[in-house]
Structure formats: structure tokens, C-alpha cells
Amino acid sequence: MSLEIEGLSWGHALPGGGWRQLFDGFNLHCPGGQFVVLIGSNGSGKSTLLNLIAGSIPAATGSVRLEGRELLRLQAHRRARSIGRVMQNPLDGTAPGLTIAENLRLAECRRRSLLQPQALLGLHPGRGDRRRYAALLEELGLPLADRLETPVGQLSGGQRQTISLVMVCLGAPRLLLLDEHTAALDPRAEDSVMRLTQQLVQRLGTTTLMVTHSLEQALGYGDRLLMLQDGALIGDWSAAERQQFTPAALQALYGSATVPEEHISRS
Ligand SMILES: Nc1ncnc2c1ncn2[C@@H]1O[C@H](COP(=O)(O)OP(=O)(O)O)[C@@H](O)[C@H]1O
Ligand SMILES: [Mg+2]
């Protein structure tokens, strides 16, 4: 589903007094199914932008539409069902005391409860559910199919992020927001979570906005690369255009107020 952000504004009080207008009439249009990667220096507003889109921080003005439908006016629980989010901390997305199967069941019930509230009563995964989950995990190439009864709290950070991603996707979101979801992982787990991310985005065709700290990810994933600085986009490159960059060249743009002419596409 297409994402249209128009005229988004938000500011915050400064610790020493005064006001900082971080977003001031921010616009962004993404066609349905686009996988957008967002980078920018610390404090440039990446997480705030995702929070504004998700409505977890109320925007002062502006609109966020998914396929023409205003998200910011939806009730919080409906908005939450439209949007799948995976955050940086592997502890955030899953319930540690519940098993993998129970977590997956929870994610499915959350989606179904939109149609039938009584579905929430059947939280316990049945034999059929377990078979489906095992098949899904195998299909995704994840070595967790035989660990459905393991409490998620016993998994590694990478495995927890894996389950968080699968849960989000079981909810069939209309928009996927990923905020540095591999930042807390070791390089091997980072690779496997990124491969799964790519696979799920392709499989579901969900419009995706992924914030990353990793320049390698920024150059290797997604259909489009955005660079944010002080709440404004200073770079917007297609997958073909970003081939002009090495990680070091991209790094050099961090903290710039504007991107030099030679990096701006004329196409
Ligand atoms: N709720 C808030 N109140 C005050 N300042 C905030 C709040 N949320 C974010 N900020 C400030 O807004 C700026 C952008 O933060 P953030 O979006 O977290 O940056 P990023 O994710 O790009 O590192 C930072 O300067 C941060 O201190
Ligand atoms: Mg952030």
C-alpha cells in the first residue's frame, strides 16, 4: 500500500529552554510495496519519524495516509494493527515467558480479533497451529521448527528478533517499520535477521521503512535509500543511484546540511 506523508510537523522543548522544530512540513511518498532504507546521524529524527508515522508520538500537523486512508485519525488499536514494528531491543517484540508457538499464536490472534473478538479466547496453540508454525519456520529456512515449545526468553537476541519478525508478519501489516532492528546483534545474527527481513518483505509485498545504523545494509538492501538530517531529507536515491557510493563516501555525508551536487541524480 502506498504511503503518503504530507506536511508533517513536530518539535520539542530544549533542555535549556527554547524550542526545536525538528520536522517542519515533512513530505514523503512511497509507492506500495517499496522497501525504503532510512539512514542519518544520531538525533537526526529517524526514530521520531517512525513514531510519528505509527502515531506513538502525536504530530502537530500533517497527514500520514496508507493507500489514501488517513492513519493518524484511526483509533490507536486499529492503527496498531495496520502497522508492524520491530524495534532495536530484542526484548521488546516477544513475550519471554511464553513459548515460540504461544508467541506466534498471540500474533495471529491479534490480527483475527479485528474480525472476531472471541478469537482472543483461543490463545493456546492447538496441534494444527503447531504444525502450521513448524511448516512456516521451515519454509522460511529458520532452524527453530523443532523448538516451538521453547520459552522465547531462552533464545538468543538474534533468534528473538527472528521470532519478532515472523510475529509481525503473521499480523499481515499494511506497513512495516523497522527501527535499527539488528543494531543489538552480533554480525552473524545480523546477517541472518537481514536475510529474513528481505525474504519477508518480498513475500508479503508490504511497504517497508527500515532505519539502519549499518552502511553496508544501506547499500545492500531495499529499493530506495533516504538520508535524514535535522528532520529533513538530504538524500533520496534509487537502488541503481546508490551504487555510486562506497560505505566511506556515504559516511562522509553524515551530518551534512545538504548533499553535494555530484550525488544528486538528475534522472
Ligand atoms: N519525546 C521527546 N522529547 C524531547 N526531545 C525528543 C523526544 N524525542 C526525540 N527527541 C529529540 O529529537 C531528536 C531526534 O531524536 P531521534 O528521532 O531519536 O533520533 P535518531 O533516531 O535519528 O537518532 C533528538 O535530538 C532527541 O533528543
Ligand atoms: Mg533512533
Question: In this predicted model, what pLDDT tens digit does every residue of 12-59 receive, in sequence order?
Answer: 999 999 999 999 999 999 999 999 999 999 999 999 999 999 999 999
> How much is the pTM?
0.93
Cell numbers given for 218: 544501506
User: Which of 8, 9, 10, 12 to mutate for ligand 1's pocket (most ligand atoms within 8 Å of CB)?
Assistant: 12
Separation of CA 213 and ligand 2 centre (Å)? 9
- Residue 18 burial (10 A CB sphere; 0-12, 13-18, 19+): exposed
Residue nearest to atom 4 of ligand 1 (CA): 12
Kindly report, residue by residue over 128-137, the tens digit of the pLDDT.
999 999 999 9
Query: How would you class 58 by CB atoms within 10 Å of its CB: exposed for 0-12, middle for 13-18, buried for 19 or more?
Result: exposed
Q: For every one of its 267 residues, what pLDDT tens digit does the chain have, with 9 covering 90 and above?
A: 999 999 999 999 999 999 999 999 999 999 999 999 999 999 999 999 999 999 999 999 999 999 999 998 888 778 888 999 999 999 998 999 999 999 999 898 877 655 455 555 567 899 999 999 999 999 999 999 999 999 999 999 999 999 999 999 898 899 999 999 999 999 999 999 999 999 999 999 999 999 999 999 999 999 999 999 999 999 999 999 999 999 999 999 988 877 877 777 655
Q: Is 20 in the pocket of ligand 1 (CB under 6 A)?
A: no
Would the CB of 160 count as within 6 Å of ligand 1? no
44 lines ligand 1 (CB under 6 A): yes
Cross-strand partners of 177: 85, 209
Single-letter residue type at 60? A
Contact (Cβ atoms closer than 8 angstroms) between residue 178 and residue 210: yes
Please give the pLDDT value at position 117: 52
58 CB under 6 A from ligand 1? Answer: no
| Candidates 3.30.930.10, 3.40.30.10, 3.40.50.300, 1.10.10.60; CATH matching 3-93+171-263 | 3.40.50.300
CB 207 within 8 A of CB 215: no
Q: At a CB cut-off of 8 Å and minimum separation 6, what does 224 contact?
A: 30, 34, 35, 36, 37, 236, 237, 238, 239
Would the CB of 45 count as within 6 Å of ligand 1?
yes
Q: Are 24 and 233 in contact (CB under 8 A)?
A: no
pLDDT of residue 257: 78
For residue 113, the model assigns a pLDDT of 58
| DSSP summary character for residue 21 | E
Q: Which ligand is nearest to the CA of 228?
A: 1
* Pocket of ligand 1 contains residue 46 by CB under 6 Å: yes
Q: Of ligand 1's atoms, which has the minimum distance to the CA of residue 40?
A: 22
Domain limits of the chain?
3-93+171-263
| First-last CA distance in the chain | 25
Report the 10 Å Cβ neighbour count for 171: 21
Q: In terms of DSSP H, where are the helices of 127-205?
A: 127-139, 157-170, 187-204
Single-letter code of the amino acid located at 136: L
What residues does the ion ligand 2 have nearby, CB within 5 Å?
A: 46-47
Q: Is 204 helix (H, G, I), strand (E, B) or coil?
A: helix
43 Cβ below 6 A of ligand 1: yes
- Measured from the alpha carbon of residue 46, the closest ligand is 1
Helix, strand or coil, per DSSP, at residue 33: coil
